[in-house]
Homo-oligomer: A and B are copies of this chain.
Amino acid sequence: MHEGSRLVNTTADPAPTPIRKRSGGRKRDTGRDDAILRATIEIMVEVGFESMTVDMIAARARAGKGAVYRRWSSKADMVLDAVALMKRDLVDLDHLPDTGTLRGDMLALFAARATERDEQFTRTIAALAAVLAQQPGIADTGHAALIEPWVEANRILIGRAVARSEATAGADVEALSQVIPSMGGYRSLIQRQPFDLAFLTGVLDKVLLPALGIPDHAY
């Protein structure tokens, strides 16, 4: 991995000392990081991962390829950070909804995600899948960047439901937290249909809540 993948390296280099070789010289323009990543997202959404070229990104960001590769060591690397940049407003773990029922919480979590971004989200997931398919070694990174926060939110919400005895005591919180992301990925990537409210309701009422032993007369 390259030094630049800061956004997703949540575990690495807490020491901020980047081994400055000398001291003099022009400072790296941090504004370029953002410009490049945003160009990456835009183009990836427009043409997809495979058709996107590094030259396109550099041109869109009005950057040279040198500036790009000084920050990320490969196209895949850039996409990972771009994806991480995107997800930051998808789920806010510090302000999860708390409506009193798991069903209410889940619907509120969904509503918080801006609807107009769905198309973008789907294409981003597809790009991420492409990266994962060709760079298995960075799977953890991609996973951490995009999907894990969502799973973590589910983990918390389901955990609460178990804690307040809304759900069965012996529920496998870990496995069940993955149900909605998994089925959402299947719907988006394989079936190519929208991850909308109707779909979410179906999964909730027919799969997740029953599996948690929450009877349907409860809602």
Contacts and interface: CB of A to CB of B under 8 A. Distances in A.
A175 B190 contact: no
- How many copies of the shown chain assemble into the complex? 4
A134 B49 contact: yes
A207 B175 contact: yes
A134 B48 CA distance: 6
A39 interface: no
A127 interface: yes
Contacts of A203: 175
Contact size range, A: 35 or more
Given A182-B182, A206-B172, A207-B172, A189 B132 contact: yes
A118 B135 CA distance: 19
Given A49-B133, A130-B129, A178 B189 contact: no
A18 interface: no
A130 B139 contact: no
Interface of A: 48-51, 126-127, 129-130, 132-134, 136, 139-140, 142-143, 147, 168, 171-172, 175-176, 178-179, 181-183, 185-186, 189-192, 202-203, 206-208, 210-213
Given A48-B134, A140-B192, 13 more contacts: A126-B132, A132-B189, A133-B189, A147-B186, A171-B206, A172-B207, A175-B183, A176-B207, A179-B207, A182-B185, A207-B211, A208-B211, A211-B211
